[in-house]
Structure 1
Amino acid sequence: MSTLTFTHIGGPTALLEVEGWRLLTDPTFDAPGRTYSFGWGTSSRKTAGPALSVEEVGAVDAVLLSHDHHADNLDDAGRAMLAGVPTVLTTVPGARRLGAPAQGLHPWEATTLTHPDRPTLTVTATPGRHGPVGAQVLVGAVTGFGLTWEGQEHGAVWVTGDTVLTSDVRRVPERLDVGTVVVHLGGVRFPTTGPVRYTMTVVEGRELCRAVRPRTVLPVHHEGWSHFLDGPAALQRPELAPDGGTTVWADPGRPTAVVV
Structure 2
Amino acid sequence: MSTVRVTHIGGPTALIEFAGWRLLTDPTFDAAGGAYAFGWGTSSRKLTDPAIPADALGPVDAVLLTHDHHGDNLDAAGRKLLASAGTVVTTVPGAGRLGGGARGLGPWASTTLEGEGRPTIEVTATPCRHGPPLFRPIVGDVVGFALRWDGQRHGVLWISGDTVLYGGVRQVADRLTVGLALVHLGGVRFPVTGPLRYTMTARDAVDLLEAVRPRTAVPVHYEGWKHFSQPRAVIEREFADAPPDVRDSVRWLPIGTPTDLET
> CA shift at 1:152, angstroms?
1.1
Listed one character per residue, the Cα deviations across residues 173-208 of structure 1 (whole Å, up to 9, x for unaligned) are 211111111000000000001100000011111111
* Structure-2 separation of matches of 1:7 and 1:237: 24
Note the 1:184-195 alignment, pairs <5 A.
Answer: 184-195=184-195
- What percentage of residue pairs aligned between the two structures are identical? 58
* Structure-2 separation of matches of 1:235 and 1:219: 10
My pick for the range that moved more, 140-149 or 232-241, is: 232-241
- Name 1:16's counterpart in structure 2: 16
Note the 1:155-234 alignment, pairs <5 A.
Answer: 155-231=155-231, 232-234=233-235
> CA shift at 1:101, angstroms?
3.0
* Structure-1 separation of matches of 2:234 and 2:121: 35
SS of 2:79's partner is: helix
Listed one character per residue, the Cα deviations across residues 217-250 of structure 1 (whole Å, up to 9, x for unaligned) are 0110000000000114136694578517421111
Note the 1:63-212 alignment, pairs <5 A.
Answer: 63-212=63-212
SS of 2:67's partner is: coil
> TM-score under structure 2 normalisation?
0.95
* Structure-1 separation of matches of 2:186 and 2:2: 29
- Name 1:255's counterpart in structure 2: 258
* Structure-2 separation of matches of 1:131 and 1:9: 25
> TM-score under structure 1 normalisation?
0.96
Listed one character per residue, the Cα deviations across residues 32-56 of structure 1 (whole Å, up to 9, x for unaligned) are 0111111100000000110001122
- Unmatched segments (≥5 aa) in structure 1: none
My pick for the range that moved more, 128-137 or 245-254, is: 245-254
Post-superposition, which runs of at least 4 consecutive aligned residues in structure 1 deviate over 3 A? 234-242
* Structure-2 separation of matches of 1:47 and 1:10: 11
> CA shift at 1:77, angstroms?
0.2
Instruction: Count the aligned residue pairs.
Output: 260
Listed one character per residue, the Cα deviations across residues 97-128 of structure 1 (whole Å, up to 9, x for unaligned) are 11113110011001111112111111000000
- Root-mean-square deviation (CA), in Å? 1.5
